[in-house]
Chain A
Amino acid sequence: MQHLTEEQLVAHYYHDGDAVTAEAHLATCEECRAQLATLRGVLALIDQLPIPEKDAAYGEEVWTRLRWKLGSERRRSRVWGTISAIAAALALAFIGGMLWHARTQQTSPVVIARSTPSPAAAAAQTASSSSAVSRDRLLLVVVSDHLDSSERMLLELSNADAKHPLDVTSESRRAGELVASNRIYRQTAARRGETRIASLLSDLEPVLLELSHAGSTLSPDEIASLQRRIDSKGLLFKVRVVSAQVSGQEAVTKAPSKGMDSL
C-alpha cells in the first residue's frame, strides 16, 4: 500500500489536497491516520500558544500614539512645499556662491599671469586648479559646519531619556533647516564624487526628516525609535569620523589657497 506523503497529509489537513483520495486511504490505513493525528496534535499545540491579552483601552492607546504621527503626516504634506521652496532657494544661493567664488578666484591669477614671464597655458591651468580647490574647500567648510550641528542634535537625542516625553520644539525647527541643507550638500557631494560624505548625508537625512516632522513633543516610543535608528546605523560614530576627516581635508586645502592669496 502506498502511504500518503507528509506533504499530502499537510495539504489534507488544510483542505488543499485531493480530499476524496486522502479520505479513502485514511479509512483503510492506520499508520497514516496516526501520522495525521500527530500532525493535528502539533498544530493544536501551536493553537494553544497564548497571545498577550490587550485590555479594552488598547485601541485608545494606539490612537493616542498614532494621532501625533498622523498630525505629522498631515503637516508633512503641507510643510513639504515650503521645505522644497527653501531648499531650491538655498540650492540657488549655494551654486551661485560657488560660481561667484570660483570666478573671483579665477580673475586674479590670470591678471597676475599677464604680468609675469610664465606661459599663458600654465597660468590658465593654475587658475583652473585654483577654482577647483576653492570649490572643494567651500564644500568642506559647509559640510564640516553641517556635520557639527547634526552631531550635536544626534547627541542630544541619543542621551535623551526614552522613558518620558521630550520637548523638541527648537530641535524640530533646527532639524527642518538641516534637512534642506543636508539634501543640497548630499547632491553636491555626490556630483563631486565625494561618495563617503554623500553616503553619510544620505543616512542622516531620514533621521533629520523624522525629527523635523516631530512637532513639539517626542513620545517615549518615538525617542526610542529614533535612538534605535541612530544606533543601528552607527550614525553618531560615522558623523564624528567623517567630520574629523573633513576637517583634516579642509586644513590641507587651505594651504594652496593661502599660497595663491600671497601671489
Chain B
Amino acid sequence: MEMTTDLAVVSRARSGDPEAFRMLVESHSKATFRVAYRMTGNEHDADDVVQETFLRAYKQLQHFEERANFGTWLHRIAVNCSLDLLRARSRADKHYGGDFESAELAGASGARSEAQQDRLMISAELQTQVATAMERLSANERTAFILRHFEGMPVEEISKTLGIQINAAKHTIFRAVRKLRESLEPFVRSTPCNT
C-alpha cells in the first residue's frame, strides 16, 4: 500500500472505522512478520509479535503523526514488541537456568526447518550456524544489528529505540558484527561464492 493511500486509510481507522484498520492489518502483516522473524528467529514468536504489534498500533493510533510513514511506524512498534519478548526471555533464561533457551533453540530449529522447505539458498548446516550465531547475540545487540543491517535505520534512531547513547549504539552494532564474524568467518572462507 502506498504512503498516500495509507494515510487516507489510517485517517479512517483513527475515526473508528474497523474496515480501514483491517486493510492496514492485511497490507502490512507480511512485512511486519519479516521484521519480527528477524528479531526473534522463531516463527511462532514472530506470529505473536505481529499480533501484539497491531494491538499496540490500534491503541496508539491517535499518537501516529500523519507526516510519518505508517509502515516505518509499525516496524518500530514491532521492534519494540520483539525487544520486550527477547528481554523477558533473557530474564527468564537467567531465572530458570537456561531451560527456556533450550526450548527456544528447539523452537527455532523447527521454524528453520519450515524455512528450509521454502527456499534452500544455503546449506542446512550453514543455516543452522547462522541462526545459532544470531541467537548468541544479546537482545540489544540483535536489535541494533537488525535495525542497522536489515532496516537501514540510522544509528541515532537506533540509540533512541534502545534508550542508549549514540556511541553506545555504535558500539553495540560493532559488538554484534564482531560476534557474528567470529562465529561465521570459517564458513566464509569455505564458501567462495560469498566472498
Contacts and interface: CB of A to CB of B under 8 A. Distances in A.
Interface string A32-74: 0000011111111110111111100011101101110110010
Given A45-B187, A70-B58, A73-B58, A62 B50 contact: yes
B73 to A, nearest CB: 17
A60 B26 contact: yes
Size class of the A contact interface (CB-based, 8 Å) = 35 or more
B37 A51 contact: yes
A43 B133 CA distance: 12
Nearest to A222: B51
A31 interface: no
Q: For chain B, give the interface size range.
A: 35 or more
B191 interface: yes
B22 A14 contact: no
B115 A41 contact: no
A66 B121 CA distance: 33
Contacts of A42: 177, 180-181, 184-185, 188
Given A6-B174, A38-B181, A66-B55, A59 B127 contact: no
Interface of B: 18, 21-22, 25-30, 33-34, 37-38, 43, 48, 50-51, 54-55, 58-59, 92, 111, 114-116, 118-122, 126-127, 130-131, 133-134, 148-149, 155, 170-171, 173-174, 177-178, 180-181, 184-185, 187-189, 191, 194-195
Given A50-B115, A50-B120, 11 more contacts: A11-B170, A14-B173, A16-B155, A39-B177, A46-B130, A51-B37, A52-B115, A59-B30, A63-B29, A70-B18, A70-B58
